Structure 1
Amino acid sequence: MKNCIILLLVATSLLTCKSGTGSKSAGQSLFNGKDLSGWHVDVPELDKNPQALSPFIIRNGLLVSMGNPNGHLITDAIHQNYRLEVEYRFAGKPGNCGVLVHASTPRALYSMFPKSIEVQMMHQNAGDFWCIVEDISVPEMEKRRGPKEKWGITEGKERRIVNLTDGTEKPLGEWNSMRIECFDAEVKVWLNEVLVNHGFGATATKGQIALQAEGAEVEFRKVMLTPIKKISE
């Protein structure tokens, strides 16, 4: 069944490109390899303990999320209609992390997570969507999100939408390549060149981009953003 869905979504993607939603500009790295210019840290623990170490550091030219204390590294700028390319790996034990798109109100969920749509990077679950006070739809919603009466975007609700494929992640220690395309109300996700999710009807179409510290050490060697423009008619 998953293979049928993937073929359908690939065909839809090709038609979308032909209809004029795929023109792109030059990309820019959101990470300069030296410091966190263009980003700011939001870690609740630092409010209580200003002497605590930030979980986001630069190490050997890599952007590293140490995992603890939990929080987010958020772009200063707001972005809309773009392709985001992220290359990452779990440096030690596998665990949890994510890329948040269309982020806005900070600490909107569990006094921690900014209002956003999360593209999951958690080991063996990469490509899932998590709705964080924003929403998005996918084909076969009840199969992939659970019973409709349990859906929601706040605490205690069914916010996870599982991805389309299994086995697309590289072995632990190897680099994974994730591509996220946000255009109008759609979000498409590829992992290692495989389409793993395609959402539509998103309740947000622009916002900041955030990387998580959520318990596991993760290295990033690429965070590249390329604007996508409509092809003029």
Structure 2
Amino acid sequence: MNPIYRFLFIILFVFTQNSNAQKRIALFNQKDLKGWYAFGEEKGKQTNAADLFSVENNMIRMYGPKAGYLMSEQSFRNFELTVEYRWNTDANFVKKNNSKNSGVMYLVPAETPDILWPKGIQFQIKEGATGDFVFLQEVTLNINGTKTTPGKSVVSKRFADAEKAIGEWNTLVVISKNGKITQKLNGKLVNQGIESTVTEGRILLQYEGFPIDFRKVNIKKHK
């Protein structure tokens, strides 16, 4: 190959790799909870998220006697969010209850106060209901031509079941672009809608009482 062409090829390759890297952000570095704060129903907001939840073996481990969440410090608009999770059935971990119920919230507005649970959209993670939409604090979405009813907590059921057996790792994907929301689970479309009344906000990992692990939380920005 001509040296000039080889040089140009290398420059183009490096530029492309850097561009791709800039588009995808690891919100969890698999070492600590930098970039997150925690909120618990008993202790309230904790700037040091490790006061409520822990990182072990490259995983976020959420457990304990009280409900709470991790909230990203950054807000996002037009993105593809990928999260890997599994239920933690190890009896050594303290739990609040036996109900396998959790979720990943997104588009939580920056000005929203910390409560259980704040304004936004939830990808429901729940035994027998994973993939449902949950619209919190008056958020609405148009699903199959019908606008959801505003309310404190409104559920719109998934189109299909796709969750793996308890204890196995699952991959959920949320795509949010200009008010259109798509939820996928293990590669399968499970819910979708348009005209979301929230279009920008933070990411939230829920702990509702049954131990759950997260090992990957990545976001890819879209224009």
Structure 2 unmatched runs, 5+: 1-19, 90-97
* SS class of match (1:78): strand
- Higher Cα radius of gyration: 2
Structure 1 unmatched runs, 5+: 1-23, 146-150
2:125 match: 121
After superposition, the C-alpha distances for 1:71-122 in whole angstroms (9 at most, x for unaligned) are 1210001111100001110011660111111112124xxx411111111111
Post-superposition offset of 1:68: 3.9
Alignment pair present for 1:99 and 2:104: yes
CA root-mean-square deviation: 2.1
Q: State the AA in 1 paired with 2:157.
A: V
Partners of 1:194 and 1:130 in 2: CA distance = 18
Partners of 1:47 and 1:26 in 2: CA distance = 33
* SS class of match (1:173): coil
* SS class of match (2:69): strand
Alignment pair present for 1:33 and 2:30: yes
More strand by share: 2
Identity of counterpart residues, as a percentage?
Answer: 31
* SS class of match (1:76): strand
Partners of 1:67 and 1:121 in 2: CA distance = 18
Q: State the AA in 2 paired with 1:115.
A: K
2:218 match: 224
Work out which of the residue numbers 39, 42, 46 in structure 2 matches 1:45: 42
Contact persistence 2:53–2:61 (CA under 8 A): yes
Mark the CA change 1:54 to 1:123 in structure 2 (over 3 Å): closer, same or farther: farther
After superposition, the C-alpha distances for 1:7-43 in whole angstroms (9 at most, x for unaligned) are xxxxxxxxxxxxxxxxx86312100111110001111
Alignment pair present for 1:66 and 2:73: no
Post-superposition offset of 1:189: 0.7
Work out which of the residue numbers 198, 204, 211 in structure 1 matches 2:198: 204
Partners of 2:208 and 2:79 in 1: CA distance = 25
Post-superposition offset of 1:67: 5.5
Partners of 2:77 and 2:102 in 1: CA distance = 22
Moved over 4 A (4+): none
Following superposition of structure 1 onto structure 2, how do residues 15-26 of structure 1 map, counting pairs within 5 Å? 26=23
Work out which of the residue numbers 179, 185, 194 in structure 2 matches 1:191: 185
* SS class of match (1:45): coil
Post-superposition offset of 1:47: 3.9
Partners of 1:118 and 1:170 in 2: CA distance = 19
Following superposition of structure 1 onto structure 2, how do residues 122-201 of structure 1 map, counting pairs within 5 Å? 122-133=126-137, 134-139=139-144, 141=146, 151-154=149-152, 159-166=154-161, 168-201=162-195
Q: State the AA in 1 paired with 2:160.
A: T
When normalised by structure 1's length, the TM-score is: 0.75
When normalised by structure 2's length, the TM-score is: 0.78
Partners of 2:175 and 2:133 in 1: CA distance = 13
Partners of 1:169 and 1:91 in 2: CA distance = 15
Post-superposition offset of 1:154: 1.8
1:148 match: none
